[in-house]
Structures are given as structure tokens and as C-alpha cells.
Structure 1
Amino acid sequence: MNEKNKITDLRSAIKLLASIPGQLIETNEPVDPHAELSGVYRYIGAGGTVMRPTKIGPAMIFNNVKGHKNARVIIGLLASRERVGLMLDSKPEKLGFLLNEAVKKPIAPVIIPQTEAVCQEVVHYADDPNFDIRKLVPAPTNTEEDAGPYITMGMCYASDPESGESDITIHRLCLQSKDEISMYFVPGARHLEVFREKAEKLNKPLPISISIGVDPAIEIASCFEPPTTPLGFNELSIAGAIRGIPVKLTNCLTINEKAIANAEYVIEGNLLPNVRVREDQNTNTGKAMPEFPGYTGPACSELPVIKVKAVTHRINPIMQTCIGPSEEHVSMAGIPTEASILQMIEKAMPGRLLNVYAHPSGGGKYMAILQFKKSKPSDEGRQRQAALLAFSAFSELKHVILVDEDVDPFDSNDVMWALNTRYQGDIDTVFIPGVRCHPLDPSQNPYYNPLLKDKGISCKVIFDCTVPYNLKDKFQRAKFKDVDPSRFAPELFKNIE
């Protein structure tokens, strides 16, 4: 059994990381889940678009969370591409290829009996007068301005009320009361929104489960979007393909839906038809929580509501959370983005796209660096066609930087070198105005640019930093002698291939 198949749930992922120096730390110091926990991890390993100072560092477990005696919180599990590679048994630079192959060979989930589902070891029903989800689930707030405690790593699972087809996605979930959760949908971007709208037209509630603390392969797979995974494609089958075994589901106790059987927590409830709540009704800050572009998202005036029916969990559960703009979001959103781009461009022009990197500065969504190889004169111009295909593969992409095969797309300094020595703004920039992108970028708003017709519309841009094919001989990098550096510094190169 290889390393990736040793991981079946959150606890086995933690066990693997604990065996690798520098990947996981724990603390018994008491921590307040309100702003303090995220404030600590900002310095330890948040990275991403988080306000500086921050850095990429180990995942962290808090063993002493104020107000929650028998629960621990882990943060930053996916906040390092290297760590994701360890948990998926892949080289970091090949993760996009791994997911691309998994999409091609899906393995459907299976249902196991409730008696075998560890997620239901402990059960709390909402009709108990002492029930309060805010006391049961140690959901942190990222900042002191947040609208409330947020579940940021909840795997939301629901089914189409017409076809019965199921899907899983991650949403912004704010604990609003003892048994109510608000749910944010990016307009037109998630399959669960389609399910909810269908149920609402029938004036029926939509059963939904929220699984927290699962196999990281599930968390990565759940972030695929159309057109790579169209309506009716259950992303759990991608996680199954990554592991080579089906994801295990079990029937919920209070609703007609399923949940991830080995999750640390499961919240069961119904999305209520025609019921809305103001996101910041408990704080009146006007703000929601920090989002992936690095800014705090505005609180929504009307959001759909989940009425909670039950909370189940494992004995001594581990709550999983993340900081909205952290490197963790880059991993979850960016690696599926890379796979989607690889898939579409490889179909159109095989062998020319060598790699893709969804850069952290774009939160894994806004910027992609494409490493493209021109092998003959007729390849000139195809690099820009590849960029257009990338925009089609992932609609929320805003900027594409094209580089040659001798530039490392994962090294920002190397990419900036290409921008400075292989790019002229007036001839190597392609503007594509008026295209739908993502509403959480504050510059994609008519108040920033009056020419924009709506929030979430943007000017997409291609930065072509590739050398024209007929000039390749004039852009040769300085060549150094190939040597074996491990002879001279073995402590630095003991794992060199």
C-alpha cells in the first residue's frame, strides 16, 4: 500500500504528517476561537493573500479551545503545496496532472451501514432544549469583524430534487443561532445552488449534510467546477479515483440525505424555501469574513438558511478550519483549476502545455501561469490560443501569464524575470474586456470602473512572456556546468534525484 492509500480520513492524514518533521505542530495553550486562533496561525503558516507578516508553515492543532472541552481544532492542513503532495502521494508540481487523471477515471462513492459510520458515534438532536450548534461545533471567527463563527471547511452534500443526482461543494457557512446557519452561494457557480433553486420553486426544503474533517482528497476534489465537472458529476468520484477506493457515505439520521461516513462532524439540516437572513444580523459589522482575494467580504443582506436537525460527531472530534485568504484556499481552489486547464488545452493541442500553476496571489482562482513549448514555426500564436482555452476551462480566471519551457512556473522570481526580459507591454498584452469573472474582487465593480456593467465583470488579460519562435536563438539563458551538488553539500541535497 502506498502513502496516499494509507489516508482514509482526517486522523490518518494527521498521523502521516506527524511522522514528517516540520509538517505539524500542536499546542496545549488555551486559545479563544473568536479571532485569536486565526490570529495565531497567521504567523505560523497561513501564507496566501493574508496580510503580511505571514508565511507558509506547518499545520497546527489547538488542543485547548476555550468553551469546547472535548474538541480540538486543526488549521492549515492544506496550507502548503508540499503538504498536499505528501497527503496525495504526488510531487507538488504534478498535482494538477494527478487530479486531471482522476477526473478521467472516477470511482463512485459507496454507502455503508450507519452502524459502521464513525461520524455518528455521538448524536445531538436539535429538538433537545439544550441543543446549541455554537456550543457543539468550535467554529472560529477569522477576525474580530466577522459576522459570526464560520464553518470554512464544510463539505456540503445535497441532491437534485428532480434527478436525484448528488454533488458536494464548500460554501461560506455562518452560525446564526442555536439551530440556524446561513449559506452563501457565488451566483451561478455551484451545482448546489441549482438544487436549492429547484426545491424552492417546488416550495420544498432541500435536505443537506455538512461533513467537517475528512480525507483531504475529498476537500481538494470538491473544488472542481464546470465545465470539467458538469451538472450531475459527483466530485466524490474524483476523490475515489485519487485514492483508488470509493469514498464511504452513510445515511443521515434526520434527513433523507447522505454524509461522509468517517467525518469528524456531520451537521444535518434542511435549506428552507423562501427564507432569508441578514448575514451580519448578530454583529452589525457590515462584513462577512476574509475571502480568498485578501479582503473581507461584505455581509450579504439576504442569504438562504439551513435549519439544523442534528449534529453527529466522532468521540473527541477534531474540528477543521482554514483562514479564508490563506494558502489553504490556494491549494483547494488552485489545484483543480490547474487540472481543468491541463485537460482542456491538452485536448485542443496535445503536448504543447507542459505545466500550469494557479498562483497564490490570485487565491488559486484569479491567476494562472502556463508553461508552453513552441516546437515549430506554426506553434507561434498557439500560446495565446492556450490562454483563451484556460479562460474557458475556468471562468473565474482573470489573468494568464505565458512562459517558455525554460521558465519554472512555480518560481515567481523566474516568472517575473520572463516578464522583464521577454515581454513588451504594447505588443504582448491581450485585453478581453467585459467578461464575467468573480464578484469577490473589489476591482470588478462599477464603482471601480464605470464601464463595467455589473459586479463580477472584469477585463481579463493575457501577458505573453514567451519568446517569438523565430527569435529563440537570441534569448538563450546563460548555461552552467551540470554537476552533482550532493558531493559538496550532502545535507542540502540528500533527496536529489
Structure 2
Amino acid sequence: MPEQPDPPAPVRDLRSALDRLARHPGQLHTTDHPIDPYGELAGVYKRIGAGGTVERPTGIGPAMLFENVKGYPGARILVGLLASRERVGILLESEPARLTQRMAEAVRNPLEPVIVTAENAPCQQIVHRADDEDFDIRTLLPAPTNTDKDAGPYFCEALVLGTDPETGHTDVTIHRLCVQGKDEISIFFAPGRHIDAFRQKAEAKGESLPVSINIGLDPAVYIGAEFEAPTTPLGFDELTIGGALRGEGVELVDCVTVKQKSIARAEIVIEGEILPDVRVKEDKNTGTGHAMPEFPGCDGPANPSLPLIKVKGVTTRKDPIVQTLVGPGEEHVSLAGIPTEAAILKACEDAFPGFVKQVYAHSAGGGKFLSIIQVGKRDAFEDGRARQAAILALGIYAELKHVVLVDEDVDPFDSDDVLWAMTNRFQADKDLVILPKIAGHVLDPSQTPEYNPEIPAKGVTAKMVYDATVPFALREKFTRAHFRDVDPTPWYPDYKA
């Protein structure tokens, strides 16, 4: 018998994830051609693999590992690890179309983190303390910029870990982190973020909030961290979802310079404290008026007053990898969208089992604003059930703006098929449901009183349900033409189902 290839090693961190991808042609490209992290790197990946809502031309290509970063000897930058649903499936050992179900199952079966010693924490192989005379995070780590208008260099794919100072509950979230000085980083919180609630509690007491900023992680940890309330309410530790996805608890270790935990198998950990009653202008060093490209595809405005993290230390692996993303790209769709899908599917399954078949958080909405929900009607009553599922989705995920309902014969992942249903199974005066003046997302540029005077405040919006399902009583009139199911490989050997 021919020799069988060795089974892939389990994914436990970023490096084992890259080893896994290296076994799949076309999923990872490594280059030692010099790259400037300021604008050039994002400009390259914008064309190769960013996708999502990025300005065209763009595409869905491999993840890229840049091993020769100008001005940063020994540092490496990875971009696009999760910038395709196929690649996420490889890394989470799932068919891409079943990732939603896999994530929902992980939420139902959380697995607690485990604590390890410093000797067993690769993230602390090298330690840099902020009180060292030559410490400067700006020269130590290459934080990229996406565009020439960015407020400054950003850590774009950095998982912040904080703890409720009253209850001791831990939360992890990705936030916008702009490097402001040699030991200062601003942090942007969208309304309702749990770590911001922790910060406010600490600030009310005049205390700092210790945090760790974890960069370069097992992709299961990143994706698991992107669930939001009510699926993961205040007090729910999203690290337990990453543990469930891997079947073993995420390893944590005590930080070196602050009273906090960090992710032991991270590439880089920035340790610091969010200072009480200190605010900074996001673009104070550049005056561009812009922050960075956000997931809807536009440059976000620079915030005039953000909390400030005082960096106390940085720990890294040897030859660390800075993991980043192109702001509006497909990687954001994977990070935000797949947990969104799972949250909606779980809620609908709890409410009416078996009715919702699939959920897709479409790339056009950055993984947040647009969901395609596939339903299976069994009787005329469920014409109303379909719209109930859409309303439930809008309630479960507050940032969701538009829902398109489709039948089981429509592929929710195929935009042409969805548009076909929207064209052939929809009448605007009958099938469009509009819900005005509902809380949405502050980063949507249309959700402002300037755009619509009827909107009372930024981040309030009109939401829409686009019911492109067939009325049950008319289902026979809308049956799609059926063709023979013929295997084409004898005529076209390169065919892939």
C-alpha cells in the first residue's frame, strides 16, 4: 500500500495554524521581499486577498507572511489568516458551510481556560519592561497603517483581556488600538462593550484597569472572542468558546508587569493599564481627521477623546509574528460574521427547532450589517414564522441592519442566487418590512441625523426585512427547473463539486 501522509498536528497557536495551512496549496504565501508596514503592506494585500468591503480591485487570496519588515529586523507580519471562509474551515476542521453550526455548538459547550506557569508560556520567552531606558513600543513592534490617512499605526488584530473589578469575571474583545507614544496606546470602545463597562467601574473608583493585549493567536481564540450579548452576556468568558472549539482549555499565564492574565501561547503580549480620567485625541500625532478603514469600507473618523492605555511591558516569543488585517476586508467578515451567524442560528433553533436551516453574515455587510437566513416552511402558518425569525435575528444581534429571507432551494452563500430570489420572489409593497429608529452601529456612515433628520442620534437606524421566500400556498408555481444530475468528470476531469 502507498505510504500515507502524516496526519496534521493539532492547532494550538498561530504557528501550528500556519503549519496546517502550509499543507494546503494556495492558502499561505511567505515572502522575504522588503515591505513597509506603513501603507505599503495593506496596499499589497488589498489587491491579493483582502476582499470584503475593501475598495476594488480586491480579491480572495492566500494569507501572506512578510518576513522582511523595513525598520524591524527579526519581526514578521502576517495578514489575512482568516480572510476566506475556506481557510477558516481548514483551521477549525469544518466544512465552510457548517462553520455556523460548529460555532453554535461551541457556545453550548464552553470549556474553561487553564492556568500555566511562565516556564510553559511561550509568550514570555523575551521580556521588555517599559521602565527600561530604551523602551519604545514604536520601534519594538511594527504596528501597520492601512492607509495614508490613518490616525497612526494600529494593532488591528489584538485581543484585549480585561477583568471586572467587582465580580472578577473576564472578557476578551478586539478593539481599535492606536499607538500614541513610546508607552501609550489609545483604545476605542463601541457602545456596550464589556471591557468598557469594566473600565467605567474602575474609573468610578479612581483606579486603573489592568489589561493584556494579545497578538498572534490560535484562530479559534480570535473567532470565539467575537460573540456578543445576549449570546454571551456580561460575565460570560468568551475564551471558553475557543477552548470548546479545540477540545482543550485556552492556556493563560500571569502577566509580568501588571495584575492580569495573558494568553500563554500568543506571539506577543502588551501589558498595561487603562488610566482613569485620562483621554487622548486619536489623531493627535497626525491631525488627519481619520482613524482607520472600518468594516463598512469607509475611513472612520478620528475620535476626539479616547481612553489611554499606559504600557508597562511587552513579552514575546523569539522572532515574533505581528498578526494584522486590512480593516474592511474578508478577515473581519470571518471574525465578526461567523459568530453572528452562530448566535442567530442558536436563538432561532431554541425558539423553533429545525425551521432555520442556514445563516450567512454576508461580506457586503462586513459580517455585521447584512444576514441571509434560509428557512424551511412546512405550512402556511410558517409564512409568518419566517418573518419572526428575521425579527428575532435583529433582536439578538443589535448591529444587524438588513435581513434577507430565502427558501431552501436558494444557496445563501451564493450572492447571485440570493439576488435571483430577491428579484423573482419579492414585491416591494408586499414583502418589505421596515423598522424605523432602532439602535444600530455608530460606524455606519448613514446612521446619523445629518443623513436622515428623523434619526435622533448617531448609531440609530432604520432596519429592513427583505422577505424573498415564496408564500407557502404558491410554492408549486415557483418550483425551479430541474436538470439531470450527471457527473461531468468524464468530460471535464478538473471539475470540483
TM-score band by shorter chain is: over 0.9
Aligned to 1:53: 57
User: In structure 1, how many angstroms separate the alpha carbons of the residues matched to 2:478 and 2:340?
Assistant: 30
> Matched residue of 1:415: which SS?
helix
**Greater alpha carbon shift after TM alignment, 480-489 vs 60-69:** 480-489
2:9–2:16 contact (8 Å) kept in structure 1: no
Aligned to 1:165: 169
Superposed displacement of residue 303, structure 1: 0.2
Superposed displacement of residue 399, structure 1: 0.0
* Aligned CA-pair RMSD: 1.0
Q: Which deviations, in whole Å up to 9, do the C-alpha atoms of 1:447-483 show, x marking residues without a partner?
A: 0000000000000000000000000000010100011
* Matching of residue 237 in structure 1 with residue 254 in structure 2: no
Q: 1:405 aligns with which of 377, 399, 408?
A: 408
1:4–1:88 contact (8 Å) kept in structure 2: no
Superposed displacement of residue 349, structure 1: 1.0
Superposed displacement of residue 4, structure 1: 8.7
Aligned to 2:111: 107
Aligned to 2:221: 218
Q: 2:39 aligns with which of 32, 35, 58?
A: 35
* Matching of residue 11 in structure 1 with residue 15 in structure 2: yes
Pairs within 5 Å for 1:108-147:
108-147=112-151
> Matched residue of 2:308: which SS?
strand
1:5–1:244 contact (8 Å) kept in structure 2: no
User: In structure 2, how many angstroms separate the alpha carbons of the residues matched to 1:14 and 1:492?
Assistant: 28
Q: 1:148 aligns with which of 140, 152, 167?
A: 152
Pairs within 5 Å for 1:62-461:
62-188=66-192, 190-461=193-464
1:85–1:92 contact (8 Å) kept in structure 2: yes
User: In structure 2, how many angstroms separate the alpha carbons of the residues matched to 1:282 and 1:104?
Assistant: 45
2:52–2:364 contact (8 Å) kept in structure 1: yes
**Greater alpha carbon shift after TM alignment, 413-422 vs 3-12:** 3-12
User: In structure 1, how many angstroms separate the alpha carbons of the residues matched to 2:119 and 2:373?
Assistant: 48
Superposed displacement of residue 191, structure 1: 0.8
User: In structure 2, how many angstroms separate the alpha carbons of the residues matched to 1:449 and 1:198?
Assistant: 35
Superposed displacement of residue 3, structure 1: 7.5
1:126–1:310 contact (8 Å) kept in structure 2: yes
User: In structure 2, how many angstroms separate the alpha carbons of the residues matched to 1:489 and 1:260?
Assistant: 48
Gaps of 5+ in 2: 1-5
Aligned to 1:464: 467
1:191–1:231 contact (8 Å) kept in structure 2: yes
> Matched residue of 1:357: which SS?
strand
Superposed displacement of residue 486, structure 1: 2.8
In the alignment, residue 61 of structure 2 is paired with which amino acid? G
- TM-score when scaled to structure 2? 0.98
Superposed displacement of residue 28, structure 1: 1.1
* Matching of residue 482 in structure 1 with residue 485 in structure 2: yes
Superposed displacement of residue 287, structure 1: 0.4
1:265–1:313 contact (8 Å) kept in structure 2: yes
In the alignment, residue 264 of structure 2 is paired with which amino acid? A
User: In structure 1, how many angstroms separate the alpha carbons of the residues matched to 2:234 and 2:333?
Assistant: 24
User: In structure 2, how many angstroms separate the alpha carbons of the residues matched to 1:261 and 1:151?
Assistant: 19
In the alignment, residue 118 of structure 1 is paired with which amino acid? P
Q: Which deviations, in whole Å up to 9, do the C-alpha atoms of 1:275-322 show, x marking residues without a partner?
A: 000000000000000000000000000000000000010000011000
> Matched residue of 1:434: which SS?
strand
1:4–1:87 contact (8 Å) kept in structure 2: no
After the TM superposition, list the runs of 4 or more consecutive aligned residues in structure 1 that deviate by more than 6 angstroms: 2-5
> Matched residue of 1:485: which SS?
coil
Q: Which deviations, in whole Å up to 9, do the C-alpha atoms of 1:165-204 show, x marking residues without a partner?
A: 101000000000000000000012x110110000000110
User: In structure 1, how many angstroms separate the alpha carbons of the residues matched to 2:75 and 2:132?
Assistant: 21
> Matched residue of 1:174: which SS?
strand
User: In structure 1, how many angstroms separate the alpha carbons of the residues matched to 2:8 and 2:470?
Assistant: 39
2:130–2:313 contact (8 Å) kept in structure 1: yes
> Matched residue of 1:356: which SS?
strand
Superposed displacement of residue 135, structure 1: 1.1
Q: 1:20 aligns with which of 16, 20, 24?
A: 24
| Structure 1 residues 4 and 358, CA gap change in structure 2 (3 angstroms) | farther
Q: Which deviations, in whole Å up to 9, do the C-alpha atoms of 1:336-393 show, x marking residues without a partner?
A: 0000000111111111100000000000000000001111122121100000000111
| Structure 1 residues 3 and 247, CA gap change in structure 2 (3 angstroms) | farther
User: In structure 1, how many angstroms separate the alpha carbons of the residues matched to 2:382 and 2:36?
Assistant: 57
In the alignment, residue 174 of structure 1 is paired with which amino acid? C
Superposed displacement of residue 490, structure 1: 2.8
> Matched residue of 2:151: which SS?
coil
> Matched residue of 2:195: which SS?
helix
User: In structure 2, how many angstroms separate the alpha carbons of the residues matched to 1:51 and 1:214?
Assistant: 28
User: In structure 2, how many angstroms separate the alpha carbons of the residues matched to 1:133 and 1:379?
Assistant: 57
- TM-score when scaled to structure 1? 0.98
Work out the number of aligned pairs and report it.
Answer: 492
User: In structure 1, how many angstroms separate the alpha carbons of the residues matched to 2:327 and 2:23?
Assistant: 27
> Matched residue of 1:486: which SS?
coil
Q: Which deviations, in whole Å up to 9, do the C-alpha atoms of 1:426-457 show, x marking residues without a partner?
A: 11000000000001001000000000000000
Superposed displacement of residue 484, structure 1: 1.8
Superposed displacement of residue 491, structure 1: 2.2
Counting aligned pairs with the same residue, the percent is 57
1:4–1:89 contact (8 Å) kept in structure 2: no
Gaps of 5+ in 1: none
User: In structure 2, how many angstroms separate the alpha carbons of the residues matched to 1:104 and 1:3?
Assistant: 28
